Chain A
Amino acid sequence: MAKEVEQKNTKAKRKKRKNPALIKKPESRVPGELSGLLSLLIPGLGHIVIGEIGRGFILFGSIFSMILMFVWRIELLAHLEPNLLSMYNKALSRRPVFILLLTFGIILLWLWNAWDAYRIRKKREYNRIKIFILVIAVFFVLGWQIGEINPYKMITRFPETLTPISRVLWPWKAAFTHKTLRVSAKAAILAPPGGNPPPPSVENPNKPYLLAEPTSGNLSRLDENYKMIPGTTITLTGKNFKPDTKTEIWWIDPIGNKFQLRQNGKYVSVITDEKGSFKMKVIMPYRLIPPSSKGKMIHHVEAVQVSPVGGVIINEPLKLAVSRMVETIFMGMIATLFGIILSIPVSFLAARNLMAGSWVTLIIYYITRTIINIIRSIEPLIWALIAVVWVGLGPFAGIIALTFHSIAALSKLYSEAIESIDPGPIEAIQATGATHLQTILYAVVPQMIPPFISFSIYRWDINVRMSTVIGLVGGGGIGFILVQYIRLLDYRAAGIAVWFIAITVALLDYISSEIRRRIV
C-alpha cells in the first residue's frame, strides 16, 4: 500500500539521520594546520572553528579546569613559597609522583588536543574516544590527590582500630555486670617516719587482717633531675582472706584518694593460698604532696578482694539502648503515619493524568511537583538540623524531619502509582452507568491500594532506618546516644547501640518485604 511505502520511506530517512557516519558535515574552509594551531593556542578553539563545537568546549573545559585545580593543589602544598616556580619546586619535592604525573598528563593532553583538531580536519575518520580516556585519567589523578587517598595509612593504621572494632563487634561485657562481694583489710602507715608510728593491726580470727611491716617509711619521690627514688619497702602479710582469690593492693592517701598500687608498670596483685593468706613486698608509692600538707601523715594500704556473687545486673548502656531503640521505632512509625496521611492529598495534585484537564490544574501540578522535588532532594538529616532549631533537641525534631521527607517521597511514589493505573477498568465502570465517585471507588481505588500499601511499608522501613541516624544531629532516638558514646570513646556502649540498630533494621527489612510480598 502507498501508505506503507511512505512509512517505510520515513523510516529510512530516520535511520539515515540517526547514523552519524552518513551525516555530511559542511566543509570548513579553515585548513587543518590552522585549526591545529588554534587548538594549540587555546585548547578546543581549533575544534570550534572547524565545527566540532561540542568536542571543542569539552576539551577546553577539561584542560582549563585541570590547570586551575593543579594550581590550587600546588598552592595548598607550598603556600609559603614566594613565587609560582618555587611553589612548583616545593610541591614537586613533597609529592613528586602526583606533580610529575599531572604535569606530563596536562602537557600531553594539550598537545594531543592540537593534533586532534588538525587530524579531524585532515582526515574524515578518526578515533573519537581515545583522547577522552586521557582526560579521564588526568582527572582521576587529580581526584586521587584531592581525595587525599592514602592506602599506606589505611594499612599501617589498621592495628589501632582493632581494639575499638572488637569492642563494637562484641560489646556485651559492658551490657551486664555481676553483683560483687568486696573483702578488704587496711593497715596504717606513717610517712615520713619518726615520732610514733601507728601500732600494727590487731589480729582477729574471724575478720580479714592485713599487717604492714614496718608501719612507717618514706614515700617514693623525685630528685632534682626527676629521677624516681624508691620509697621504703613494706612487707604485707594478709590472713583470713578468701582462699585462692586474686587480691589487689590499694593505697589510700591522707586525704582519702584511693589508687591501685603499681610496681614496674603493673598493678600489684597477689593470689591467696588455700588458707586465705598471703605475704608480699611493696614499695611505698610516689605521691604528690601539696606544700600545705607537709609533716607527718597517716597513709593506709588496703588489700581488696572483689569476687562476683550471683545476680546479673543490666548496665545503663543496655537499658538506654533498649529504651532509645523503642523511641526510634516509634519515631519512624509516627513519621510514616503523618507522611502517609499528608501525602495522599498531595499525591493527587501531583498526578499528571488527573491534573492534565485544564491549564489551571496543570499549573498546580507543576508547582506541586517542584515543591516535592525540592523537599525530597534535601536529606532528612538536614531537615532534622532545621527542626532541632525549631522545636529543640529530641525525638519530636526527628519526627518533623522524617515527616517532611516522607511527604515528599511518598507523594511522588503515590502520584506515580496513580499515573500508572490501567484506564480499562475505569472505562468499563463508566460504561455501566456509574457516577464519577463510584468510578473512582470501584475502578481507581482497588488498583491503587496495593502500591499504596507497598510504598507505605517501604517508607516505614526507610524511616526507621533513617531515625537511627537522625539522632546524630540531635533528632532523638538511638543515634543520639550512639554519637555520644562514640565521642566519649566508649566503644562498648556504642557497640551495644550499633547491635540494636543492626538487629532492628534487619528484622524490619525482613518483615516489610514479607508483608509486601503477601499483599502485592
Chain B
Amino acid sequence: MLSIKNLVKIYDDGTEALKDVSFDVDDGEFLIIIGLSGSGKSTLLRCINRLIEPTEGQIIWNGEDVTEADSNHLREVRRQIGMIFQHFNLVKRSSVLKNVLAGRLGYTNPMLSLINRFSQADIEMAYEALRRAGIEDQAHKRADELSGGQQQRVGIARALMQNPKMILADEPVASLDPVLAHTILGYLEKINKEDNITVLCSLHYLDLVQRYATRVIGLRNGKVVYRGSGEDIRKMTDEEFKQIYGEEAERVRVGPDSSEDVDGEKING
C-alpha cells in the first residue's frame, strides 16, 4: 500500500511542479493519473521512487517513508517498484535480452554485474518474461530494431524482472498508436489482475482511462483536481472533464477499431 502525503516538488528554477499532493493507493489497484502535459504527472511518478527528489511531504510505501530512506534502502524500495516509460528508455544498442536482464540488477551482486554475469536462473526468468510478453523470438535482436509496441513490451518485461509489487507507468502508450495502446494497456491490466501488481499509470486518452482505470486522479498545475473511481470516470460529464483539462479540451473519438463502439477523447491542450 502506498500513500502520498502533502507532496511538494519545486524545481531549482522555481517551477512548482507539485503542490500539496496527497492520495492513497491500495494494493492491486489500477490507478490512472490524468492531466495535461506539464500538470505534474511525470514528476509525481518519479517522486515515488525518488528518481526526482521531492521537496516536501511523505511517501509511505508499505509502512516506510521512502523520502527518509538512505541509498541502500532506497535501492531496495526501487527494486520492488517497476517502472515503464513513454519513450521505453531501453539501451538501444544492447540486445533485448540484456535490456530485460537489466531489470535484475537490483538483485545482482554488483561485483558479478561488473563482468556482465547473470545467473542461469535470471536468464531463464528473462526468457519467461519475454515469452509472456510474446516477443521471445526477438531476444537476441538489438533493442532499436524492434517496433515501438515491441519495445514497450521489453520495457514491461524489464519491470517484471524486478518481481515488483507495483509498476509506475509514465505515459506508457503516448508514443504508440491507439491499437497498440490497447494491447499494451491490456497487457498491463493482465499483469495487474493475474499477478496482483498495483499499477500507477499516467495517461492522455480519456477513452483508455475509462476502459482500464479502477481509480482516477486528475492533476492540474500540480494540484489534485479530481478523484474518482473507475465507475465515476465512465459516467464523467463534459463539465467535469473540462475542469480537469481546461476549457480548450475537446473530445476526440479514438478507438482500437472504428467498428467498436468506444467513445474516445483526446485532449488537445
Interface, chain A (partner B; CB < 8 A): 1, 4, 422, 424-425, 427-435, 437-438, 441-443, 446-447, 449-450
Contacts and interface: CB of A to CB of B under 8 A. Distances in A.
Nearest to A430: B51
A447 B105 contact: no
B51 A431 contact: yes
B78 interface: yes
Contacts of A434: 75, 102, 105-106
B93 A447 contact: yes
A425 B89 contact: yes
A432 B78 contact: yes
B51 A427 contact: yes
B106 A428 contact: no
Contacts of A428: 83, 85, 89-90, 102, 155, 158
Interface residues of B, number: 40
A435 B88 CA distance: 20
Contacts of B108: 438
Interface string B25-56: 00000000000000000000010010100000
Contact of A432 (B87, B105, B116, B246): B105
Given A424-B85, A438-B110, A431 B49 contact: yes
22 contacts: A1-B247, A422-B92, A427-B46, A427-B51, A428-B90, A428-B102, A429-B105, A430-B51, A431-B49, A431-B81, A432-B82, A432-B161, A433-B80, A434-B102, A434-B105, A434-B106, A435-B105, A438-B113, A446-B91, A446-B93, A446-B94, A450-B93
Interface in B167-222: 168
B146 to A, nearest CB: 15
B114 interface: yes
The 3 lowest CB-CB distance pairs between A and B, nearest first, are A433-B106, A433-B79, A424-B89
B248 interface: yes
Nearest to B76: A433
Contact of B110 (A424, A429, A435, A449): A435
B162 interface: yes
Given A431-B78, A438-B108, 18 more contacts: A1-B247, A424-B89, A427-B89, A431-B83, A431-B168, A432-B78, A432-B158, A433-B75, A433-B76, A433-B105, A433-B107, A433-B162, A434-B102, A435-B75, A437-B114, A441-B113, A441-B114, A449-B93
Nearest to B79: A433
Given A430-B51, A432-B158, A434-B106, A442 B91 contact: yes
Contact of A425 (B90, B104, B162, B246): B90
B102 A429 contact: yes
A428 B162 CA distance: 12
B113 A425 contact: no
Given A1-B247, A427-B89, A432 B103 contact: yes
Most chain B beta carbons < 10 A, residue from A425, A437, A446? A425
B112 to A, nearest CB: 10
A446 B101 CA distance: 14
A interface majority secondary structure:
helix
A432 B106 contact: yes
B96 to A, nearest CB: 13
Contacts of B168: 431
Most chain B beta carbons < 10 A, residue from A429, A432, A434? A432
Contacts of B246: 1
Contacts of A424: 85, 87-89
Contacts of B103: 432
Contacts of A446: 91, 93-94
B209 to A, nearest CB: 22
Contacts of B116: 441
A447 B91 contact: yes
B78 A433 contact: yes
Contacts of A1: 246-248
Contacts of A441: 113-114, 116
A191 to B, nearest CB: 88
Nearest to B87: A424
Contacts of A435: 75, 105, 110
B50 to A, nearest CB: 9
Contacts of B78: 430-433
Given A425-B90, A446-B91, A437 B110 contact: yes
B124 to A, nearest CB: 18
Nearest to B105: A434
A353 to B, nearest CB: 15
A432 B91 contact: no
Nearest to B101: A442
Most chain B beta carbons < 10 A, residue from A1, A4, A442? A442
Nearest to A445: B91
Nearest to B84: A428
A354 B75 CA distance: 22
Contacts of A450: 93
A435 B113 CA distance: 10
A423 to B, nearest CB: 9
A58 to B, nearest CB: 39
Contacts of B88: 424
A233 B107 CA distance: 108
B75 A443 contact: no
A428 B113 CA distance: 17
B163 to A, nearest CB: 11
Contacts of B247: 1
A446 B248 CA distance: 43
Contacts of B75: 433-435
Contacts of A447: 91-93
Nearest to B111: A437
B240 to A, nearest CB: 18
A434 B108 CA distance: 9
A432 B102 contact: yes
A450 B94 CA distance: 11
A437 B113 CA distance: 9
A366 B76 CA distance: 37
A425 B110 CA distance: 18
B85 A427 contact: yes
Nearest to A439: B105
Contacts of B77: 433
Contacts of B89: 422, 424-425, 427-428
A434 B49 CA distance: 12
Contacts of B158: 428, 432
B213 to A, nearest CB: 23
Interface in B109-127: 110, 113-114, 116
Contacts of A427: 46, 51, 85, 89
B123 to A, nearest CB: 15
Contacts of B90: 425, 428
B119 to A, nearest CB: 15
A438 B168 CA distance: 21
Interface string B240-266: 000000111000000000000000000
